[in-house]
Amino acid sequence: MSTVATDLRQAVEDAAAHLYVWALKDIPQDLRDALAAAKDRETSVPGRRVLETIVKNVDVAEAENNIVCQDTGIAVYTCRVGEHFPLHPAKIYEALKIGTERATLNTPLRSNAVHTLTRENTGPNTGYRLPIVHWDFLPGWDGLDVKCIPKGSGSENMSFLKMCVPADGVKGIKQFVLESVVGAGGKPCPPGIVGVGIGGSADYAMFLAKEAIARPVGTTNPDPEVAKLERELFDLLNETGVGPMGLGGDVTVLSCHIEHADTHMTLNPVAVNYQCWAARRASAHITPDGHVDFDREF
């Protein structure tokens, strides 16, 4: 799917409006395949019925051009900006915000944005520092990549951070991840994707965990040691018996993804961010002349 626009800011705004709705209505094929496979291998009767309902829900949403979940979440964007892209990041942010508002009002979508203390609604899924945008600036490039990852609160509430003891090593990491997922139970609408961020600092570990949930199901970390831990945690998490929606069963998670960073010798920050079964994501590639290509990935 492609569009051409002469107004670059308008092209970014239009892309944001499309991405937010597309991500909410049409979940990626890798996730559909994972849910179907989970349904086939689930032996628990309640768990299988839950997965059958989820798969049907996805099909009905597609057939009726509707969203897959009533929680339209917080609009979170990740932007990769080339140093030669001719639109300033301040204008990019403005376009993303207006695009989010347009999508909310025109679709229409439930508006979730509230003031943190008063709880009064602050706008059509926008407000102070909303939407959330993460930036990555790339040298020697003139394009813009935008990924939209709406994050509902059911799964976002199940976020955990621990400054693990370095001496506890991998065993301590495993224990913390298992305790987090078992403690979450059915609250994050399992089975979903468990994102784990390891290393860096406390805030960066959580950022890495959220980067991890945005990866397609079935991908592995390029570091062989990290990939090994992903496989081990995936097996361990599915042995917990939490099951679909916390009702018990074989399938507690669809995937476990880990992102990592080097850290200080006395630090071992570990973050867990859960993404519900509706792991929504959508991306757009924008050229300097306003040409837009929509895709699932960067």
Distance CA 290, CA 244 (A): 43
CATH 1.10.1200 fits 153-275, yes or no: no
Cis peptide upstream of residue 86 (ω within 30 degrees of 0): no
Within its chain, how far is the Cα of 35 from the centroid?
16
63-92 average pLDDT score: 96
CATH 3.30.1330 fits 2-24+69-150+280-295, yes or no: yes
pLDDT in tens, 271-284: 999 999 999 999 99
| Residue 66 three-state SS | coil
pLDDT, residue 12, reads 98
| 2-24+69-150+280-295 matches 153-275 in fold | yes
Distance CA 58, CA 30 (A): 13
Write down how long the chain is.
298
Q: Which residues pair with 159 in a beta bridge?
A: 273
Task: Tell me the domain boundaries of the chain.
Answer: 2-24+69-150+280-295, 153-275
138-148 average pLDDT score: 98
* Residue 167 per-residue DSSP state: G
**For residue 22, pLDDT beyond 60:** yes
| Gyration radius (Cα) of the chain, Å | 19
Per-residue pLDDT band for 78 (boundaries 50, 70, 90) equals very high
10-19 average pLDDT score: 98
pLDDT in tens, 191-239: 999 999 999 999 999 999 999 999 999 899 999 999 999 999 999 999 9
**For residue 79, pLDDT beyond 80:** yes
**For residue 3, pLDDT beyond 90:** no
Please name which of 268, 203, 201, 197 lies closest in space to residue 229, comparing C-alpha atoms.
197
pLDDT in tens, 112-138: 999 999 999 999 999 999 999 999 999
Residue 24 token pair: 């909410």
pLDDT, residue 2, reads 47
Cβ atoms 80, 138 nearer than 8 A: yes
| Residue 282 three-state SS | strand
pLDDT, residue 272, reads 98
Per-residue pLDDT band for 4 (boundaries 50, 70, 90) equals very low
145-169 average pLDDT score: 95
pLDDT, residue 154, reads 85
Q: Measured at the alpha carbon of residue 62, what is the angle toward residues 61 and 64, in degrees to the nearest 5?
A: 65
Q: In what order do the strands lie in the sheet with 144-148?
A: 2-3, 292-295, 282-286, 144-148, 76-82, 132-138
**For residue 1, pLDDT beyond 70:** no
22-51 average pLDDT score: 97
| Residue 46 three-state SS | helix
pLDDT, residue 296, reads 84
**For residue 5, pLDDT beyond 70:** no
Distance CA 251, CA 47 (A): 8
| Residue 117 three-state SS | coil
Distance CA 150, CA 134 (A): 13
The average confidence (pLDDT) of the chain is: 96
